[in-house]
Structure 1
Amino acid sequence: MIELHDAVKQCADLLERHRRRAQRIGEQNTKAGLIEPVIGALGWDLFDPDEVHREYRRRGTDNPVDYALLLLRTPRLFIEAKGLGENLDDPRWANQTIAYAAVAGVEWVALTDGSEWRVYNAHAPVPVEQKLFRAVRLEDDVEAVVELLSLLSKDNMRDNRIEELWKGFFVDRQVHAELVELFAGGEPAVDLVALLDRRLSKLTREDIRSSLVRARATFDFPAAATPLASRPAPAASVPLKAQRQESSIEAPRVVPVAEVQSRLSSSAGNRRPGKPRVSPEERRLHLPDMIDVGRLRPGCTLVASYFGKQHQAELLADGTIRYRGQVYNSPSGAGEAVKIVVHGPSVSATTKATDGLDFWHAEDARTGKMVSLKEIRRRALADLSA
């Protein structure tokens, strides 16, 4: 991949020149100077429309995708290009291309402005904001860009190497989220204390609980090697701090753009596959019960982080939630309202679906710490069971 490395380095140099001049070069020049040299270096024939199809349409009436990369005349990767400096955070760009890819049977989508590359799995059975696999920027780390883009080479797409890495990433992300949740609050999770109580018969539950409060847990997920074995890039460590615990996980390879990586976890309002079972007793608890137990205060602010922004709502005394002047009967209803505001009224049912107890966070009235409503529900059940 020396050719790819050289092409990416040349793009970085060109980008630096434009940055110094504060010059906007537009979409067509971005394609010619920053995107097509990379596609060619990845082994795709830029002059063969059976391999690199510009302005690709599955049907004549469809809106075109900037590039479709094909193997045996079958699209394997869509690339949506934007002019250098355009806002890739605009959800329209990724949403439209991913939706089109899903219909066209294309699993992989790349969104780029020539400086930043974001790679998505269009077929992943999760909401669109969780389909992001990796994101890299030339300004941050040229080697990381080379490492990610190498997965999109003609040879690696033929061998489906990216699919192998995605599977590990997809599983690790779910396990990571659960481990973080177990260690995320000042008050240890009830089920974790119960598990250790069964295994540590000589200790009391209070001993175990106190020890977990003092714990600083670290979880390392070794990253699978990419094809660039001759130039391995160090995997990024993502520290996750909460109250008196600190958990960190080594990310599956490189996601150096912090604001994009946060989006993978900011969609906590959507149910993650593989969530632990919630007991029937826990399900019977609702916001009024958490208020009665003293874990939530009427009038407190509920906070949700979604698509890189913070959204606030108010918890009313009867357990309903006021968001933007509208009252909702459940956290899920209020969470769906946030997504309609972000994506518009035509948002898909899949994206809109929300687990409101994961989505919203509030201050635990007893500890003064911000935790999810789901964690507050667990603590309320523990209070009632004590």
Structure 2
Amino acid sequence: MKISVIGCGYLGAVHAACMAELGHDVVGIDVDAAKIASLAAGAAPFFEPGLPELLSSGVASGRLRFSTDIAEARGATVHFVAVGTPQKPGSDAADLRFVDASFEALLEHVGPGDLVVGKSTVPVGTASRLAETVEAAGATLAWNPEFLREGFAVQDTISPDRLVYGVRDGDDTSVATLDAVYASAIAAETPRLVTDYATAELVKVAANAFLATKISFINAMSVVADATGANITQLADAIGHDARIGRRFLNAGVGFGGGCLPKDIRGFMARADELGVGESLAFLKNVDAINLAQRERVVQLAVEAAGGDLTGTRVAILGLAFKPDSDDVRDSPALDVAARLVSLGAIVKATDPEAIETSRRVHPDLDYVATVDEAAAEADIVVLLTEWKQYRELDPAELASITSGRTIIDGRNVLDSSRWRGAGWEYRGLGRP
């Protein structure tokens, strides 16, 4: 099929490359000329495992191209809109300027029978509003939310765990068209749900709200564990055996970040307020507050380890991205903690396998180094903040040979505390006695 993808940020670039990999003829369109030039050269402007290979193969095959000209969308029969919906400055609400501008520009180039497919995460009610303008242009609107996990986005696009189509009641044509787009996933019997617009919009934000709540719940329990001497990891293992609860996302630590969960739960609350049902989501304020408080807990562990004053204390920061296998530092707890430690007088050296340059754009004054050895050399305290595999597998004895102090703060509760203590380290985690 001939497909256009409007917006070539994280979501759009991955979607365009994966659609080409599936055999479609794809053009990706974005207003950012530098980004388009990078993608056209087969280079991803951000780190995502597997994406550079798909970009290179797609461009080389001729099935994938990129442009800054929205008119290049003409001739495609399916148009995916995948632009960002950041948080409005000074507000919790989602900023829909990019979505509205994309639809306005695209609709000048669609033809009768074309299908416009929203993939952006938007406040409920957006699709029904946009459907009127889409239909006035002779096209049809569907909403197809994304469920990508950074670090696994290619896998999640090509082999999704479910497909959701939001369409007008009785719109079998759009359903058939989307089935053709996702033919390989349909053939693999991927669960497919056909809903109305509102339900499709709510699926993504509801899923993110649930995941955020689960993470903040176990983090709240870790506070209780610290107060009582309980072990939060054993607690999570025990309750995770309950099939109604499950073990995934029950890992206490420095909290969640990134470009989705924080802004989506805030935008969800803001939209609920607009709809007059704000009290129904009031609990998400506590979810957000618990999450942000985890960062301060890690900072306080460092203060305590330094004897109450961080001034002049040498601190090695391991990890800056909000999660491993990503260079994304949007609302990153790791980068935030690093900056807070500096503000308290610590001498910080920070490293990350992929996120140094993205971190430098946000906090240019931090001291970034390329390796663990450079960060940890003569350090008094080591703080693990992103659970990269290479950090989880560090040898405590080898690390002790280059540090000055022997205190490690495990901000992700992923290290074997017995192993580190056995090697002479003072180990500190969250909710782990």
How does the TM-score come out when normalised to structure 1? 0.36
How does the TM-score come out when normalised to structure 2? 0.33
Structure with greater strand percent: 1
